[in-house]
Structure 1
Amino acid sequence: MTEVNALDAAKDTLFVFGVVLASGTLGGALARASAIADVVVYLWWH
């Protein structure tokens, strides 16, 4: 029983870590795209 609980906990931890990692990567990509867009707009208008 303890082994099963430990396995479930490990799976939950990996799942949460994966979601955080994925959202962090997505957030980073969006931030980069936004920064690039800001630079392009700035150069375009100045």
Structure 2
Amino acid sequence: MILPSKLGNLYVRMEAVMRFQAFPVTLSVYIVRLSAFLFLLKHC
């Protein structure tokens, strides 16, 4: 199935926006995990 270029561009843009919005959440989760890991490492 070939999408029309306008619809395809809209889809790509929406996906980019979704990823951009999800990035801070992923980053914060990663930072929390990393800090927890370092905390456990220090206290073992």
Q: What TM bracket, shorter-length normalisation?
A: 0.5 to 0.7
Instruction: Point out the structure with the larger helix share.
Output: 1
Cα drift, residue 23 of structure 1:
0.9
**Structure 2 length as normaliser, TM-score?**
0.59
Amino-acid identity (%): 3
Cα drift, residue 18 of structure 1:
2.9
**Structure 1 length as normaliser, TM-score?**
0.57
Structure 2 residues not aligned, in runs of 5+: 1-5
Bigger radius of gyration: 1
- Number of aligned residues: 40
| Cross-structure match for 2:32 | 33
- CA RMSD, 1 decimal: 2.0
